[in-house]
């Protein structure tokens, strides 16, 4: 989930559910313009994974060597844990996009958990209720959490990697992306479509109650503290 630009001394951590599609499109548009002849047929995430500068192409020692080298700028984009979890639920659980098999793979485990704890498994829309999903997530050990709702501080190896540039999706995403493009000597193309994978459901109000918010805060407290998010921001 990291792109390493060793010639620019810049590294980018791709944080799931934090506008990664938009960021990948912007980078790919500068690195491989030919890919954008037909955006409709482009698998952005697959194209990114196969880039020669993708972190998965490096051994562990070489990987951390690039990230912790003197003078390197490491970029990280983060999101409010409340809204990130909501987005993951809408996009991957409640109304997963066609071709997304994440929920299918987790459905049995979630239903077993729900039945064991006497939780509702289907709401009036025929979807797994948000509260049931939240309770399942908070009972899952951190190291077993799916990347779409795992702790951002864990995913980004915060503490092991020194991040020089951290931008919040809610506050300074645009300027953070512009800074990244400038550091890479890339063109910032405001006309490139910004994708938002939030599922087909658009809730008119917060899915949280005070109780579920308290559970999420306790589970994701390191992210709230490290990235300075308000405990009451779910409201």
The pLDDT score that the predictor gives to residue 98 is 53
Query: d(Cα 202, Cα 125) in Å, to the nearest integer?
Result: 13
Note the helical H segments in the chain.
Answer: 20-31, 44-49, 60-67, 81-88, 102-116, 130-139, 152-155, 173-183, 210-219, 221-226
Asked if residue 11 lies in contact with residue 66, where contact means CB atoms within 8 angstroms, the answer is yes
Q: What angle do CA 24, 77, 197 make, to 5 degrees?
A: 55
The pLDDT score that the predictor gives to residue 187 is 87
Phi, psi of 191 (to 5 degrees): -90, -10
Q: Which residues of the chain have pLDDT under 50?
A: 196-201
Could you tell me if residue 123 is left (phi over 0), alpha (psi between -120 and 50 degrees) or otherwise beta?
beta
Structure tokens that stand for 63 in this block: 């990987």
Q: What's the pTM?
A: 0.89
The pLDDT score that the predictor gives to residue 45 is 85
Listed residue (11, 27, 20, 79) closest to 186, CA to CA: 27
The pLDDT score that the predictor gives to residue 101 is 65
Asked if residue 220 lies in contact with residue 151, where contact means CB atoms within 8 angstroms, the answer is yes
Neighbours of 99 (CB within 10 A): 6
The pLDDT score that the predictor gives to residue 39 is 57
- pLDDT single digits (tens) 147-202: 999 999 999 999 999 999 999 999 999 999 999 999 999 988 765 655 544 444 45
Listed residue (82, 74, 32, 22) closest to 219, CA to CA: 82
The pLDDT score that the predictor gives to residue 41 is 66
Listed residue (23, 53, 48) closest to 35, CA to CA: 48
């Amino acid at each position: 989930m990291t792109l390493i630009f060793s010639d620019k001394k810049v590294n980018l951590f791709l944080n799931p559910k934090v506008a990664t599609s938009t960021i990948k499109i912007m980078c790919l548009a500068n690195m491989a313009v030919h890919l954008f002849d037909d955006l409709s047929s482009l698998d952005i995430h697959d194209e990114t994974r196969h880039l020669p500068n993708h972190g998965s192409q490096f051994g562990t020692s070489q990987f951390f060597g690039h990230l912790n080298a003197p003078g390197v700028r490491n970029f990280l984009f983060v999101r409010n844990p409340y809204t990130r979890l909501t987005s993951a639920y809408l996009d991957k659980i409640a109304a997963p996009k066609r071709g997304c098999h994440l929920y299918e793979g987790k459905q049995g485990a979630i239903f077993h958990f729900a039945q064991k704890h006497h939780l509702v498994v289907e709401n009036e829309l025929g979807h797994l209720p948000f509260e049931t999903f939240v309770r399942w997530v908070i009972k899952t050990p951190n190291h077993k959490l799916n990347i779409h709702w795992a702790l951002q501080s864990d995913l980004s190896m915060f503490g092991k990697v020194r991040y020089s540039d951290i931008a919040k999706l809610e506050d300074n995403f645009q300027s953070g992306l512009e800074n990244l493009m400038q550091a890479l000597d890339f063109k910032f193309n405001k006309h490139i479509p910004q994708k938002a994978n939030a599922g087909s459901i658009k809730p008119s109000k917060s899915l949280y109650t005070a109780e579920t918010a308290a559970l999420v805060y306790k589970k994701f407290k390191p992210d709230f503290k490290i990235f300075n998010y308000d405990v009451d921001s779910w409201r």
